[in-house]
């Protein structure tokens, strides 16, 4: 298995034209169905909230555009947490976009015709900008489950917009964002690994480890990052 650093080198060497060729061969046009922004029902019939990873700096960017608190934008990734007497608790390693009471992305809305829309569309995270595609590199994420199609390094995930014609300009824009996301995901994974220190959590307490260090649920540092006083405090 290749190291994260080796995978990062591969991500940085990805060819945007080649990625665009792959996207064109699969085909895609957003139908604004909203499925990728909503909670889902599992095969077992359980309701599963919308879960989309977001980088710490993306959270702060959305904060700067909306004036929202950190917890209004992002929540601890639920995977790895356990259900205690006072709710979820434990350590996790990513942030996810916040959800509403229905389990949908908090930024999801619908117009009068029932078509899905995003209230932070121009500032949406890379994972949203590049859906339904991902890159087949170790250390990168596969949103919304396993791939349903692939071409070269590009994986396509469940979406009713797949198979539709896409023009070259749009394919290249998607490809450039997809490469950027792959690089960012691997940089984040390396940062998490390098900054991780096991942390004891009490009942009902959650600690999120991201590339900037250990944080509370509201995004504030649990303790000062070891790299110095220039680390962001997210306050």
- Whether 143 is in a domain gets the answer yes
What pLDDT sits at residue 229? Answer: 45
- Whether 208 is in a domain gets the answer yes
What CA–CA distances, in Å, run from 220 to 50, 96, 129, 216, 223? 24, 16, 27, 6, 9
The predicted model gives 143-152 an average pLDDT of 84
- Whether 207 is in a domain gets the answer yes
What pLDDT sits at residue 122? Answer: 96
CA torsion sign for 104, 89, 124, 159 is: negative
- Whether 222 is in a domain gets the answer no
- The per-residue pLDDT for range 74-129, each reduced to its tens digit, is 999 998 899 998 889 999 999 999 999 999 999 999 988 889 999 999 999 999 99
Please give the structure tokens belonging to residue 107: 């930024």
- Whether 224 is in a domain gets the answer no
Place of tokens 């434990």: 90
In this structure, the number of other CB atoms found within 10 A of the CB of residue 200 comes to 7
Which residue range(s) make up the domain with 112?
A: 4-215
The predicted model gives 119-141 an average pLDDT of 94
- Whether 123 is in a domain gets the answer yes
| CA neighbor of 19 nearest in space, from 170, 187, 185, 129 | 170
- Whether 72 is in a domain gets the answer yes
User: For 70, left (φ over 0), alpha (ψ -120 to 50), or beta?
Assistant: alpha
CA 150 – CA 138 distance, rounded (Å): 16
Judged against a pLDDT cut of 50, whether residue 224 lies above it is answered with no
Are 101 and 121 in contact by the 8 Å Cβ rule? The answer is no
Please give the structure tokens belonging to residue 31: 């139908």
| CA neighbor of 26 nearest in space, from 161, 169, 183, 176 | 161
Are 199 and 191 in contact by the 8 Å Cβ rule? The answer is no
SS3 of residue 173 by DSSP? helix
- Whether 229 is in a domain gets the answer no
Global confidence as pTM: 0.88
| CA neighbor of 137 nearest in space, from 153, 125, 121, 120 | 153
What pLDDT sits at residue 47? Answer: 79
Domain count along the chain: 1
């Amino acid at each position: 298995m290749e190291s994260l650093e080796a995978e990062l080198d591969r991500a940085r060497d990805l060819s945007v034209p080649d990625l665009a060729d792959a996207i064109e061969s699969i085909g895609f046009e957003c139908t604004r169905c909203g499925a990728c922004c909503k909670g889902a029902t599992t095969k077992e019939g359980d309701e599963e909230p919308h879960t989309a990873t977001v980088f710490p700096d993306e959270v702060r960017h959305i904060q700067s555009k909306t004036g929202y608190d950190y917890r209004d934008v992002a929540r601890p990734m639920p995977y790895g947490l356990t259900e205690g007497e006072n709710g979820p608790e434990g350590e996790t390693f990513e942030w996810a976009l916040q959800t509403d009471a229905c389990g949908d992305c908090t930024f999801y809305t619908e117009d009068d015709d029932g078509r899905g829309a995003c209230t932070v569309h121009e500032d949406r995270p890379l994972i949203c900008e590049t859906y339904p595609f991902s890159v087949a590199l170790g250390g990168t994420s596969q949103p919304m489950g396993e791939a349903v199609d692939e071409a070269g390094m590009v994986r396509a995930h469940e979406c009713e917009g797949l198979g539709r014609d896409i023009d070259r300009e749009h394919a290249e824009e998607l490809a450039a964002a997809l490469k950027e996301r792959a690089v960012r995901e691997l940089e984040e994974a390396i940062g998490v690994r390098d900054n991780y220190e096991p942390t004891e959590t009490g009942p009902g307490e959650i600690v999120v480890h991201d590339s900037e260090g250990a944080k509370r649920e509201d995004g504030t540092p649990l303790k000062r990052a070891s790299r110095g006083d220039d680390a962001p405090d997210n306050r």
